[in-house]
């Protein structure tokens, strides 16, 4: 006999008690934004609030920011805001803009995807938009299988809660690993490459023409347009607006730690990654290293937590060196301007090696490393 705590689930399944279970969606209330706000965005994948990103392809220019405009009385403090700064019509067939979220396969095993017992998945979120009308939410899995639904933005500049349930998929099992399991795509404008067919409202192999409603909104249509989102949650089971569990808030430290599995930085929270032109007390020291030879210095930095995979590193100078991205060290005197910098990142730490031409370094001496980094292991 099934024990159903919320909504509808299949036999032999215990639904999650959202008062105690960890939310599947990380940072759904948009409280963590380690990278800072962005302006002039007209292409690429762009992260502002952690674990979510906005992809723009030849459809307008946007500022993307963490914002304090939130639904009244719901407990939220932050939202993600997209502000159109240069309008764009859908002239090219492949033009699009989409707000996206990816989730690891191993965090989605409760969906039982690819089995005869596959569960419904319900996505809920709050949205506020200048543009009203039909919009599309799509789920894409690691096997390039997709399903889409539309929702209606009824009133301009008004927070509205949307709840969409998607039938379980009996095909396309998800790997139980740290790879991308599914992607959620909020389509906010799209060309005929994505809209010319019939909307795919059941699970099928991806067909671009069937991914987006032909009547989908275009938030790039005017520089007066804004789009806000917060309160994103994923629930296993079939729910509607009356039965969906309340959003489960996590404390900020827990949300930050979960986000740091995918992206972390040595800078303090609230400080955007940047190159410093001079030493900044409390922000420029990276750790203790050692002079390995007359031309080489090495330091090992332990990450704040185990990352999803070996990350891609970016380095920032923290001292008065001539080149951005260069680290330095102090061992009784400043050792500035290395001729080379290399790193060997692993999921739990990174080894940084600085090379200096000309020799003369004090082999065996300890040094205070000066520099900052970001480490990215996004899906």
- Among residues 135, 119, 118, the alpha carbon closest in space to that of 127 is found at 135
Least confident of 166-170, 349-353, 357-361: 357-361
pLDDT on residue 358: 86
Question: Whole-prediction pTM value?
Answer: 0.93
Q: How many other C-beta atoms lie within 10 A of the C-beta of residue 144?
A: 11
Dihedral of CA atoms 355, 305, 104, 58 in degrees, nearest 10, equals -50
Which structure tokens are listed for 34? 């380690």
278 or 234: whose pLDDT is higher? 234
Which structure tokens are listed for 44? 């690429």
pLDDT on residue 16: 52
Mean pLDDT across 14-28: 74
pLDDT of residue 5 exceeding 50, the answer is: no
193 within 8 A of 208, measured Cβ to Cβ: yes
77-122 pLDDT, tens digit per residue, is: 999 999 999 999 998 999 999 999 999 999 999 999 999 999 999 9
147 within 8 A of 202, measured Cβ to Cβ: yes
pLDDT on residue 3: 30
For the chain, what are the domain ranges?
38-259, 285-376
Which structure tokens are listed for 300? 């090992």
Distance separating alpha carbons of residues 195 and 148, to the nearest angstrom: 12
316-329 pLDDT, tens digit per residue, is: 999 888 899 999 99
pLDDT of residue 15 exceeding 80, the answer is: no
Mean pLDDT across 289-293: 97
Beta bridge partners of 100: 53, 185
Mean pLDDT across 132-139: 98
The mean of the pLDDT values for the chain is 94
Domain 38-259 fold is Jelly Rolls (2.60.120)
pLDDT of residue 12 exceeding 60, the answer is: no
């Amino acid at each position: 006999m099934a024990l159903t705590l919320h909504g509808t689930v299949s036999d032999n399944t215990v639904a999650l008690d959202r008062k105690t279970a960890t939310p599947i969606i990380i940072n759904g209330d948009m409280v963590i934004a380690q990278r800072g706000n962005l302006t002039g965005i007209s292409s690429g994948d762009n992260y502002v609030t952690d674990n979510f990103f906005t992809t723009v392809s030849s459809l307008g220019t946007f500022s993307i920011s963490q914002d304090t405009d939130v639904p009244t009385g719901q407990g939220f403090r932050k939202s993600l805001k997209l502000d159109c700064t240069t309008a764009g019509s859908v002239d090219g067939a492949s033009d699009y803009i989409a707000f996206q979220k990816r989730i690891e396969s191993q965090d989605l095993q409760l969906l039982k995807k690819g089995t005869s017992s596959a569960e419904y998945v319900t996505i809920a979120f709050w949205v506020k938009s200048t543009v009203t009308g039909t919009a599309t939410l799509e789920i894409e899995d690691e096997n390039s299988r997709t399903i889409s639904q539309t929702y209606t933005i009824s009133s301009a500049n008004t927070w509205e809660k949307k709840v969409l349930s998607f039938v379980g998929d009996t095909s396309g099992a998800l790997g139980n690993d740290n790879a991308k399991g599914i992607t959620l795509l909020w389509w906010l404008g799209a060309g005929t490459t994505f809209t010319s067919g019939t909307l795919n409202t059941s699970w099928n192999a991806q067909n671009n023409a069937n991914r987006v409603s032909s009547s989908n909104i275009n938030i790039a249509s005017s520089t007066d347009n804004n789009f806000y989102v917060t309160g994103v949650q994923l629930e296993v089971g079939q729910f509607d607006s009356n039965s969906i569990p309340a959003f489960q808030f996590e404390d900020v430290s827990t949300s930050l730690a979960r986000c740091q599995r995918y992206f972390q930085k040595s800078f303090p929270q609230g400080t955007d990654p940047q190159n410093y032109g001079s030493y900044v007390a409390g922000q420029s020291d990276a750790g203790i290293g050692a002079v390995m030879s007359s031309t080489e210095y090495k330091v090992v930095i332990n990450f704040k937590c185990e990352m999803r995979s070996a990350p891609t590193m970016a380095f920032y100078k923290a001292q008065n060196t001539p080149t951005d991205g260069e680290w330095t060290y102090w061992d009784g005197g400043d050792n500035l301007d290395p001729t080379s910098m290399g790193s060997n990142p692993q999921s739990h730490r990174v080894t940084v090696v600085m090379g200096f031409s000309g020799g003369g370094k004090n082999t065996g001496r300890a040094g205070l490393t000066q520099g900052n980094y970001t480490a990215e292991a996004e899906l």
